Structures are given as structure tokens and as C-alpha cells.
Amino acid sequence: MPYWGLYLQSEQFSAADIGILMSLFQISRIFAPNAWGWLADHTKQRVKWIKLTAFLGLLGFVAVFWAHGFFWLFFVMASLSLFTSSTLPLSESLTLAHLATTNGHYSRIRMWGSLGFIFAAVILGFLIDAYGIKSLLWFLLAVQITLFALTFKLPEASIAPHAHDHFSIWQIIKQPAVIALLVGCSLMVTAHGVLYNFYSIYLAEHGYSKGMIGLLWSVGVICEIAIFMLMPKIMKKFSLKAILLTSLALAVLRFGLIGVAVNNIMLLLIAQSLHAATFGSFHAASVEVITQFFNGRHQARGQAIYNSVAYGVGGTIGGISGGYALQFLGGENTFLLAAIFPLLGLIVIALGLKLAQTHARAGMFS
């Protein structure tokens, strides 16, 4: 994600076009994960569907090598994203199903995604500086192949029955607390949609090399790993709602700093370190709350709905609006405006989220 916008820029697309193309990954998250999540819950075979989405995602990515021009790339990226957007929520639900019976630690498993991100961001930054933006395509092809190969090592999990299994999915969704959580998460991800799509372009326009851009991305994810390691202690001490509200408040600060301090490397480093809260602690607390609301036979669909609303709707709004804002208002104003979304999310969560179980369950995080 940090470099795909730069690849599209090298294909001579405008910021608005890049916003539309990048948002295809988020738009697909609105629909695709729910279909795959229903299949996973209905068949009780998550691994089979993870394998299929990974394989179809690999086939879709190969077509990127021949896709040039807006409409061809639009078609290929739309097709590709239908499958790649579903692999993660299916894997999340599989992980949570295993943790429900093993007392494992979600944070310590999720940390490996962060390590992968750091490796990719750093290596790709220097690869692109040395060999050009086309090296991105070959690197990502290798990742897609490896991802598909690894799906054959995933163990299936049995789904434990839950007291709310007799509820329909809509009975859960329409609860005011669930709506507040989904809206608050969506507002947080809207700001991050701007970040993921345009932060690298924004830095490149202010003279930063691809290697430095990769290092800045890595600082954020290193801090994210640190917070994942600390989450068991944090979740013992603080309520889930307090963690969500603190994360949202720090997101307002982070995006404000990015908007006003792009030429100050120290303030940019501080802003990137806040990724620990704006993604790390926020995501961990959100997953725990979602797991409280959606459990048993609704677990895969619950993760899919969370991904659809938060990352699908929120990411789409951030990606498309961020593209037009960058083109017509400039980078500084775009990131300052992005800070408004977590502020609104803070208000929604503060007023609307009520939890029967205020702290994380024993086992998964503590």
C-alpha cells in the first residue's frame, strides 16, 4: 500500500484517479468479505475459502503486468480486490476460533503482520530507488505466491457454540452499541485511507527519497509491534472503551502533525510513532469488542462486517475524498482535514458505545 500510489503516479494518473483506483481495494471490502464470511460460517470450513481467495488473488495480480490505462487497470484492480480483500478477515476469524480454545495471544500473532510490513516497506524503498518502480510488481508477485503456498499449512478450527447462536445477524448489528462501534471505527479508518493512499506521494513531493519514505513507514509499524506486545498489560489495566477513546484522540494529534510538519523530520517521527495508538491499540481493542458482539456461528461474518464497514466504507471515503483534496487543496490541507474524522469518531464512541464486559476477556489478550 505505501508504494502502490507511487506506481500509479508513474503510470501518469492524477491524484483524483489514484484516489479512485486505490479505493477499489476498500470498496470491495464492503461486499466481498460478507459473502466469503457467510460461506465460511455456513460450511464451517474457513481454510478452504482462504485457499481459494489467495489463489484467485494470485491470478488477478498477474494481470497487473499487462494492464495499462485507467479503464484496464480499473477492471483488473476491481477483480483482484474482490479476493484479496477477503483473505485477511477470514484469517482473522480462523485465528480467533483457535484462540478461543487454546488461550493464545492475539496480539503476539498479529504482530507478525507488522513485521512483514516493516520488511516490505524498508526493502521496497531501497529496491525502488535502485531499480525503479517496476520492481514493486515483481516483489508483490513473490508475496502473492508465498501467501498462497502458506495457506496449505493452515489448520482448520472447530467453532465453539455460543449463547447468542440463535440470534440472527441483524439482531446483533442493530444494537446501538454495535452501530456506534462500527461508525467510530469507520471514521478512524477514513483518516487512515488518506494516509495509506497518499502519505508516500505527499512525502515524495516534499523531496523525501523512497528509502526515507520506507523508513518513516517502518517507524510507525515498529511502534505498532511494541504496542501489540504491551496490549496484555494495557488491557488488564484499562477498559476497552478508554483504549478506543485514547487512540482516537491521539489520531487527531497525529494527522494534524502530518499536515503542519511535513518538513520537520522530528515531528514526522513523532507522528509516525503514534501509529502505535491510531492502528495498534485501536485495532486490538476493536477486534476484542467485535468478538464480544459476534461470537459462535457469527464469528466469521462479524469479522467480515467489521472489515466491510470500517475498512470498506471508511477506507473508500478516505481514499476518494483524499484524492480530490490532494489535487485541489494540497497535501497539508488534506491531512489537516483528515484529523476531523477521528475527532468525530471520538464523539460517537464516547456517547454510543456501552459494553456489558468492559475489559478484555482472559486468555486472548491477557
Q: What is the mean pLDDT of each run of 10 residues along the chain (366 residues)?
A: 85 87 82 76 82 89 89 88 79 78 71 83 86 91 92 80 59 85 94 91 91 89 88 88 96 96 94 93 88 70 79 88 91 95 96 79 51
Cβ pair 346, 248 in contact under 8 A: yes
Q: Is residue 341 part of a domain?
A: yes
Q: Is residue 358 part of a domain?
A: no
Q: What is the pLDDT of residue 366?
A: 45
Amino acid at 117: F
Query: How far apart are alpha carbons 258 and 125 in whole angstroms?
Result: 20
Q: What is the pLDDT of residue 120?
A: 85
Q: The CATH number of the domain where 276 resides is what?
A: 1.20.1250.20
Q: Is residue 362 part of a domain?
A: no
Q: What is the pLDDT of residue 299?
A: 65
Q: What is the pLDDT of residue 161?
A: 58
Q: What is the pLDDT of residue 274?
A: 96
Q: Is residue 160 part of a domain?
A: no
Q: What is the pLDDT of residue 364?
A: 47
Q: What is the pTM of this model?
A: 0.75
- pLDDT one-digit tens code per residue, 266-280: 999 999 999 999 998
Alpha carbon distance, N-terminus to C-terminus of the chain: 31
Locate cell 467480515: which residue? 304
Residue range(s) defining the domain that contains residue 256: 4-152+169-352
Query: How far apart are alpha carbons 306 and 89 in whole angstroms?
Result: 9
Q: Is residue 78 part of a domain?
A: yes
Q: Is residue 333 part of a domain?
A: yes
- pLDDT one-digit tens code per residue, 332-351: 999 999 999 999 999 999 99
Q: What is the total count of domains within the chain?
A: 1
207: left (phi over 0), alpha (psi -120 to 50) or beta: left
Q: What is the pLDDT of residue 166?
A: 54
- pLDDT one-digit tens code per residue, 109-157: 878 888 888 888 888 888 888 899 989 999 999 999 999 999 999 888 7
In sequence order, the 6+-apart residues with CB closer than 8 A to the CB of 162 are 295, 296, 297, 298
Cβ pair 274, 253 in contact under 8 A: yes
Q: What is the pLDDT of residue 365?
A: 47
